Structure 1
Amino acid sequence: MEKHRTLAKVCLITSLSLISSAAMASDKSIAELVDAVNGTLDDASREAGKKVKLRNHAKGFCTSGSFIPAPELQQHLDIPFFNQGPIKVTARFSLGGTNAKLSDKTPGRFMSLKIDGDKESLNFVTTNVPIFFASNLDDFYSFQTKIKEGPEGKQWLVDNKPDAKRFLDYVAQLPPSPSFASSRYFGVNSFYFRQSQSGKTAEPIAGKWIFEPLAGTAALSKDELATMDDNFLKPELLARIQTQPAQWELYIQLAEEGDIINDPTVTWPDSRTRLLAGKLVIDGQRDNAPDVTQCGEGIFNPVLLPKGITPSADPILNARTPAYIESFIRRR
């Protein structure tokens, strides 16, 4: 318990030190944002939620692997973290929402990673949808509260919030994948990366994370989906990696002049330059290690970054860690 409290305090100090008041400008507090996600808008439901350790991404599991940096990245970006051998990885694959019994037949897929190097760490929070549903915290609150009202709330979002409509339209046409291993994963938020320039000081360049599955993407047809049960994703991945690792190439998509940096509802053109950062290998070899077996109890801190990478001013990005910590504390 004391270990968890210490972790929460350290993460909170780290994350809050990186968050500007401008980026966090909102009428809603972090606690209210967590209430919106959890659907706990009154004292009674909030206390009930604490008792059952209510959380987002409730349905998920942890496994392990390694990350192999691409040496050629150093020709473009000055990030010493990527200049080392294979790095251990703790991964959590999950579905969205607070329902721990959500069907795997839904389309959303999420992958969170802790990559712990010799001296520094890098965390990822990614999804198979390349756009977010809100560009600011007030719209985030509106989305989370309205979507829980059912069809009427969803229609309100479609009629009143263009970002939410675009997100909902995308998800509506997204077929479920047969495996976590056959999904692309996107970091919808932007970061700044220090460029490599001999003897010169270069301006950092904005970029986004993209994980491309080496096995390729795949989608279930309606007929195939009808034959599946509601819990196929976990056993499929754990069985898969017994014989062959699940692998992704990690790319950094670079922004160009005029691209919108601080809005996760906006995607950049596919023509933008992508730099190979390395390869993610999920093989389950460390699944009995305490940091893996207990990974679902902690948080993945997306602004825990190595030297050479800094957060953008995206308000959604900068609210993530304090919100995760608030949720973490409620589950203790």
Structure 2
Amino acid sequence: MQTRTLSMLVKASLFTAIPMLMLPAAATERTISELVDAVNGTPDNLSRDAGKKVKLRNHANGFCTSGVFKPNPQITDTFAIEFFTQANIDIVARFSLGGTNPQSSDKTAGRFMSLKLNGDTESLQFVTSNAEVFFASNLEDFFTFQTKVKQGNDGKQWLIDNKPDAKAFFDYIKKLPPTISYADNRYFGVNSFMFNSKNGAPVAGRWIFEPANGVITASADELAQKPDNFLHKELIERISTTPATWDLFVQLAEKQDNVNDPTIVWPTSRPRLLIGQVIINGQHDDAKATLECDKGIFNPLQLPKGIAPSADPILNARSAAYIESFIRRN
């Protein structure tokens, strides 16, 4: 994309959303500890202690690998973010399923990709999924969702009947077909961030990872022939010969877009800027950072200079919640 075109896109997205960032978050009396309990299904001291003993965590079924990020050289003509001036940035990646069961079946539709881009002096981290829409816009609804889904079908039906955002999420997931590789999915950062532009005005955007070979879905017959756990082996064997590759974009908000609500999917007509390319090739799988990846956390608020979080309450609770979860399992 030419520099002039990029500049035009940024000008189109420079917006009056800065006042929106000052809107108060939905009131909640929930503590970070309560939010983690809701995710883990540990509402009392007995279950919480049991969870600590087994090192209970979300996204328990997952594995780590590595690669490299190659920034788009032209992006620094638009964004004033020094992090992207590096030619190659090492990646530690973790691919996973949702939930606390380390033996959950790979035949479900949900896929998650978390990344650490470890630059010379700064780090950029991502927590993404193949779902473009989130189920709650505030922490109280987040707590309610996590609590109700632990109640099974009755709890899910209550959410469908009483929480429109949860119903929209379930409707989306119902139409989301499974894949036979982590490499075959688009991944979305549902939360918004503020990016410094060259002219000094902040630009709001969301991360989107587009697989280089496009989205490839699996038929029911293909899936039936697979064992319950196949995704780890498939990706490791794949990248031993051919890297798994994604183009990383920032989708830019326009002035009418609510940048603080992850339940709202922005129109596909919104402009996108190519930030660079993620290449997962396993080149550092024997490095300490990769081998110990499961022991740490991926923090989407770990940002280089020039990128800042929006006022989205879901986003701003993530760091503290991940740290609380980390402390409990260590």
TM-score, structure 2 normalization: 0.92
Match of 1:282 in 2: 280
Match of 2:322 among 305, 311, 324: 324
How many Å apart are 1:61 and its aligned residue?
Answer: 0.1
- The residue type paired with residue 54 of structure 1 is L
Match of 2:40 among 14, 38, 41: 38
CA distance in 1, matches of 2:171, 2:216: 20
- The residue type paired with residue 266 of structure 1 is I
State which drifts further: 23-32 or 147-156.
Answer: 23-32
TM-score, structure 1 normalization: 0.92
Match of 1:310 in 2: 308
- Residues 22/326 of structure 1: CA separation in 2 closer, same or farther (3 Å cut): farther
Q: Does 1:214 align with 2:212?
A: yes
Q: Deviations over 1:237-264 (max 9, x none)?
A: 0000000100000000000010010000
CA distance in 2, matches of 1:56, 1:231: 17
Q: Deviations over 1:215-243 (max 9, x none)?
A: 21111111111111111100000000000
CA RMSD of aligned residues (A): 1.4
How many Å apart are 1:57 and its aligned residue?
Answer: 0.3
- The residue type paired with residue 202 of structure 2 is P
Match of 1:293 in 2: 291
Q: How does 1:106-255 map to 2 (within 5 A)?
A: 106-197=108-199, 202-255=200-253
- Residues 247/41 of structure 1: CA separation in 2 closer, same or farther (3 Å cut): same
Moved over 2 A (4+): 20-25
Q: Deviations over 1:11-43 (max 9, x none)?
A: xxxxxxxxx995484110000000000000011
Q: Is the 8 Å Cα contact of residues 24 and 319 (structure 1) preserved in structure 2?
A: no
CA distance in 2, matches of 1:121, 1:21: 29
- The residue type paired with residue 237 of structure 1 is L
How many Å apart are 1:203 and its aligned residue?
Answer: 2.1
Identity %: 62
**Which secondary structure state, in structure 1, belongs to the residue aligned with residue 209 of structure 2?**
strand
Match of 2:265 in 1: 267
Match of 1:12 in 2: none
Q: Is the 8 Å Cα contact of residues 178 and 233 (structure 1) preserved in structure 2?
A: yes
CA distance in 2, matches of 1:218, 1:240: 15
Match of 2:69 in 1: 67
CA distance in 2, matches of 1:78, 1:122: 15
- The residue type paired with residue 189 of structure 1 is N
- Residues 236/63 of structure 1: CA separation in 2 closer, same or farther (3 Å cut): same
Gaps of 5+ in 2: 1-21
**Which secondary structure state, in structure 1, belongs to the residue aligned with residue 124 of structure 2?**
strand
Match of 2:100 among 94, 98, 101: 98
How many Å apart are 1:323 and its aligned residue?
Answer: 0.3
CA distance in 1, matches of 2:54, 2:171: 32
State which drifts further: 68-77 or 233-242.
Answer: 68-77
Q: Does 1:53 align with 2:55?
A: yes
Q: Deviations over 1:185-214 (max 9, x none)?
A: 0000000001112xxxx3201000000000
Q: Size of the alignment, in residue pairs? A: 310
Q: Is the 8 Å Cα contact of residues 190 and 262 (structure 1) preserved in structure 2?
A: yes
CA distance in 2, matches of 1:24, 1:84: 39
How many Å apart are 1:50 and its aligned residue?
Answer: 0.1
CA distance in 1, matches of 2:292, 2:26: 30
**Which secondary structure state, in structure 2, belongs to the residue aligned with residue 243 of structure 1?**
coil
